[in-house]
Structure 1
């Protein structure tokens, strides 16, 4: 093995769509962001480039796929501020938080009653949010709309030494850390879930696995 080669000569695969969002560096000007991108790395000239030409995720929505290409290549019209104006069918009009959030959920998951009859009809749909607190709110609304009886499950929350730890139970129960499931789970029969943390690997399940209850 020639150790003078990058990464010791081992095969390393980088994947990126350079039309999309570049690196996020706090308070960095545009020039710094561009200089920090992979094409400006000294390794760039030593890489073998392979280009993917088909958008497999948007292959059934050619209009949206073409829109993404136009934006990425700078061919889409912009306003006086340099911003791209989205088509009306790409956004949810904002009136107030509760009403607009309900419109968003209704537009993505129009009929949750159908899920138990045809689970695959909704497997390719999801709502993404910038913060975990927002998705917790969406999940809470959707599980209450899902047909069936609501069941509440809480995590094991017993203190070891109640003399010194008992006063902290309520505080700890209110904390939802990134990664583990929340302290309180609201579930219904046949509802879709994602396995966030698996502590029983003998069953062959892994983190991120989708399942139905």
Structure 2
């Protein structure tokens, strides 16, 4: 999802540090994604601008060695969804006059209100939290994606509140490496809330 400008700036930085004209200063860099489906996020940008900002349109793209994964393991047991993803990636899925793709009813949940719809979504994805808390490996192929971090926090909290058992709070202490800077940065350190998956 990084813009090509960001990656090109990183390339120039490594070339400068390594004093080399090779791409990325001769360092091995691994990029992973389905570049047909994941575009950079640019606020209020049109589809054309997002596609143009994608890394595949960079002059660096031609110098990369491409390794293609041929089997989608995550969707292996859901053949219709796997074929849908491939059609979207290849650009062969039918679009409406606005360039939008219609989703089939079997992967949609009806929306009536925020709370009711989130309840249905969580119930659909994580139907038995009692079972998952006993065997966390059952949750590996289940997730809820969101376009905004604030929504992630809301959904995480709703799922955490549904986990069975007694919740425990573990306190931590934020410390700077230099003790003399503790007073300057303590409020900032305590304000940080790094994103993470819900835990039981």
- Name the TM tier (shorter chain): 0.5 to 0.7
Highest RCO, 1 vs 2 (Cα 8 Å, sep ≥ 6): 2
CA 1:116–1:38 in structure 2 vs 1: closer, same or farther (change >3 Å)? closer
Q: Distance in 2 between matches of 1:152 and 1:8?
A: 46
* Mapped contact 2:72–2:82 kept (Cα < 8 A): yes
Q: Give 5+ residue unaligned stretches, structure 1.
A: 158-171, 182-191, 194-211
RMSD, matched Cα: 3.2
Which has the larger strand fraction?
1
Q: Distance in 1 between matches of 2:195 and 2:83?
A: 38
Q: Distance in 2 between matches of 1:38 and 1:132?
A: 24
Structure 1 residue 44, shift from structure 2 partner: 2.7
Q: Runs (4+) of structure 1 moved beyond 6 Å? A: none
TM-score, reference length from structure 2: 0.68
- Give the equivalent residue in structure 1 for 2:63: 46
Describe how 1:64-83 pairs up with structure 2 within 5 A.
64-83=81-100
- Quick one: which of 105, 114, 117 aligns to 1:97? 114
Bigger CA radius of gyration: 1
Q: Distance in 2 between matches of 1:57 and 1:63?
A: 13
Structure 1 residue 178, shift from structure 2 partner: 4.1
* Mapped contact 2:74–2:141 kept (Cα < 8 A): no
Describe how 1:101-180 pairs up with structure 2 within 5 A.
101-152=118-169, 177-179=192-194
Which has the larger helix fraction?
2
